[in-house]
Each structure stands twice: as C-alpha cells, then as structure tokens.
Amino acid sequence: MEIGDRELEKIGEYVKSHLPQWIDETASKVHQREFDLLERVVRVEEELKSLREVMEERFTAVDERFNALQKQMDKRFEAQQTQMDKRFTTLQWTVSAGFVILAALIGAPLLL
C-alpha cells in the first residue's frame, strides 16, 4: 500500500497539531520522574545522616565501655601487684632468715 502526498500532508498536520501536547506530556513525565528521584535522594541522605548519628553514638558507647574496662583492669593489676610485692617481701625475709639460721648452724661447731 502506497501513501500519497495528500495522506502524508494529513499525517504531517495531525503530528504538528498534537506535537506540543505530546511534548508537554513527555516533559511532565520527565519532570515527575526527576522530582521522584530527587525525593528519593533526599530520603537516602536523611537515612545516611541518621545512620551516621547512630554509629557515632555506638562508637562513643564502645569507647566509654572500653575505658571503664581499662580502669577496672588497672585497679585489678595494682591490687595484684600489691599482693605480689607482699609475697615477695615475705619470701625474701624467709629465705634470708633461713640462710642466717643455716650459717649459724654451720658456724656453731666452730665456736665451741
């Protein structure tokens, strides 16, 4: 089927008369899509901001907990160190007393 010039002119006039409407519809759809995308970007940014705040709070809580544990461990270490110092002092005195007694036993027959 062949299309003549007259039909082509009718098609051309039809397209010209409806072209602005089609462009407006297309532009409206594009603008709506851009607006939807912009809304989504804003929501994502807000969610990221919220997530960052939550992460900062949790990191702060973890830091505080770590510092509390560090202080507790330092106190335990100091208490353990004090006990060990007492034990070593007692052991040192006991060993010294043992050497003195041993020296006295060895030297006693020489004095008689």
DSSP secondary structure string, 47-111? HHHHHHHHHHHHHHHHHHHHHHHHHHHHHHHHHHHHHHHHHHHHHHHHHHHHHHHHHHHHHHHHH
3-state secondary structure labels for all residues of 27-49 = HHHHHHHHHHHHHHHHHHHHHHH
**The token pair that represents 73 in the structure block:** 């461990």
**pLDDT average per 10 residues of sequence, the chain (112 residues):** 76 82 78 87 95 96 96 95 94 94 86 69
CA–CA separation, 96 and 54 (whole Å): 62
Task: Note the pLDDT of residue 1.
Answer: 59
Each residue of 33-61: pLDDT tens digit?
888 899 999 999 999 999 999 999 999 99
